[in-house]
């Protein structure tokens, strides 16, 4: 598993363990010289994992154990209007999930969900004060879970999606994400901090393709040359690893898109190549560029973007094998069960009632 496991070791040993896990085969040379660690299987279903219904939670953790899932993505919401500390309800839910997950061999990736730009005609202005408040929130998250076996922290969800971030302020996202990185590391130094969680592509005007967004954020042109010589333009994005959302409802998972900046599953090789170019330009670390995780992947089971279940099962198998070949460190499916009528996003491996689908049977067999 490409995440640090011990939490009862002395701090120095924890840091060494974290570095060893993140570096993986790079510590011994190139990928050709040593096999990469097995790709970890991940699952997310906050509705089930956070539920106050013990039977619903138990069903989720049974599925985690049955599928041999080792990573569970979980999110906490930051609403600046509610203050700068994690809400008690999330502390309770995440702590319980971490304990129940460890009992079946799974550890949490804890991320921050904050649609600060949603329903705004004029984009929110990202001020230094707001970034400091975010840093305090990230500190409160890490302090709440520092005694638990957390697999990693995620600084921000989908910054290239308009409701999550004002797209005309991509550079400010780097400042905010770096503030989160520093806060997590100070409060819980033995745990990796993964950055990105980029939405896969600009399906509508509500998003920017992640390749373009990241170049704007890191101030380089399409050939990864610095756009300006100013000090702020040379700011490095601090990260122990990079996270992607690679779902694509229109093409098979191995079919490329013409626009290389769309980081869907079919464009995974292009995404990884661009990350290595950013590392060569010293905008991210070499370690981060080669420690890449897919923290959200799914096919919808309802709505206009629905993929027929049999085809989705076939695509899931192809996507898993492709990601594993390309050296992805973990692969997380979004939603174990459909959340039920009235929810826009439904992508369950099982029905709302818990009945098995072909995608679930495929997921069980992924290794």
What CATH number corresponds to the domain at position 275? 3.20.20.80
For the range 286-290, what are the long-range contacts, defined as Cβ-Cβ under 8 Å and sequence gap of 24 or more? 286/26, 287/22, 287/23, 287/26, 287/240, 287/241, 288/195, 288/237, 288/239, 288/240, 288/241, 288/242, 289/242, 290/26, 290/327
Residues 114 and 78 sit within 8 Å (Cβ to Cβ)? yes
pLDDT score recorded for residue 232: 62
For residue 360, tell me if it sits in a domain.
Answer: no
Structure tokens at 49: 């994992």
pLDDT band at 227 (very low <50, low <70, confident <90, very high): confident
Average pLDDT, the chain: 90
**Within a domain: 4:** no
356 is a domain residue: no
Whether 77 is covered by a domain: the verdict is yes
Burial of 321 (C-beta count, 10 Å sphere; 0-12/13-18/19+): middle
Q: Which residue segment(s) compose the domain that 96 sits in?
A: 11-336
Is residue 254 predicted with pLDDT exceeding 50? yes
Going by DSSP bridges, is the β-strand pair 107-113/330-334 parallel, antiparallel, or unpaired?
Answer: unpaired
* Inter-CA distances, 305 with 14, 24, 318, 328, 344, Å: 44, 37, 19, 26, 11
34 pLDDT above the threshold of 60: no
Residue 263 belongs to some domain of the structure? yes
Q: Where are the beta strands (DSSP E) in 181-283?
A: 193-198, 241-245
Is residue 140 in a domain? yes
- Domain total of the chain: 1
Say how far apart CA 357 and CA 336 lie, in whole Å: 10
Residue 357 main-chain phi, psi, to 5 deg: -115, 170
Helix (H, G, I), strand (E, B) or coil at 196: strand
353, part of any domain: no
Q: Is the pTM of this model over 0.85?
A: yes
Tens of pLDDT, residue by residue over 153-196, are 999 999 999 999 999 999 999 999 999 999 999 999 999 999 99
In a domain, 98, yes or no: yes
Residue 113: phi and psi, rounded to 5, are -110, 120
**pLDDT one-digit tens code per residue, 19-28:** 344 434 333 3
Q: What is the pLDDT of residue 30?
A: 35
């Amino acid at each position: 598993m490409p995440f640090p496991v011990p939490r009862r070791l002395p701090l120095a040993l924890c840091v060494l363990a974290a570095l060893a896990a993140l570096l993986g085969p790079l510590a011994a040379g190139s990928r050709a010289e040593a096999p990469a660690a097995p790709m970890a299987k991940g699952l997310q279903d906050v509705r089930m994992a956070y539920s106050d219904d013990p039977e619903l939670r138990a069903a989720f953790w049974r599925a985690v154990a049955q599928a041999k899932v080792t990573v569970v993505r979980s999110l906490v919401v930051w609403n600046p209007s509610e203050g700068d500390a994690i809400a008690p309800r999330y502390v309770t839910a995440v702590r319980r999930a971490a304990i129940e997950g460890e009992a079946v061999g799974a550890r949490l990736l804890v991320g921050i969900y904050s649609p600060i730009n949603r329903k705004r005609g004029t984009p929110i202005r990202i001020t230094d004060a707001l970034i400091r408040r975010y840093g305090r929130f990230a500190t409160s998250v890490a302090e709440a879970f520092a005694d638990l076996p957390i697999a990693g922290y995620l600084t921000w969800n989908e910054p290239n999606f308009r409701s999550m971030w004002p797209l005309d302020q991509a550079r400010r996202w780097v400042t905010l994400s770096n503030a989160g990185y520093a806060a997590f590391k100070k409060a819980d130094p033995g745990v990796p901090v993964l950055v990105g969680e980029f939405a896969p592509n600009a399906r509508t005007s509500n998003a920017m393709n992640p390749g373009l967004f990241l170049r704007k954020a890191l101030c380089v042109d399409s050939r990864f040359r610095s756009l300006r010589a100013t000090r702020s333009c040379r700011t490095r994005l601090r990260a122990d690893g990079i996270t992607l959302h690679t779902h694509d409802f229109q093409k098979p998972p191995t079919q490329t898109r013409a626009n290389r900046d769309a980081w869907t599953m079919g464009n995974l090789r292009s995404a990884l190549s661009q990350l290595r170019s950013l590392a060569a330009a010293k905008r991210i670390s070499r370690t981060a560029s080669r420690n890449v995780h897919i923290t959200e992947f799914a096919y919808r089971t309802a709505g206009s973007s629905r993929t027929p279940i049999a085809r989705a099962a076939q695509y899931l198998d192809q996507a898993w094998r492709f990601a594993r070949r390309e050296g992805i460190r973990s692969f997380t499916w979004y939603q174990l069960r459909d959340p039920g009528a009235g929810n826009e996003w439904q992508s369950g491996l099982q029905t709302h009632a818990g009945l098995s689908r072909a995608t679930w049977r495929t997921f069980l067999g992924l290794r």
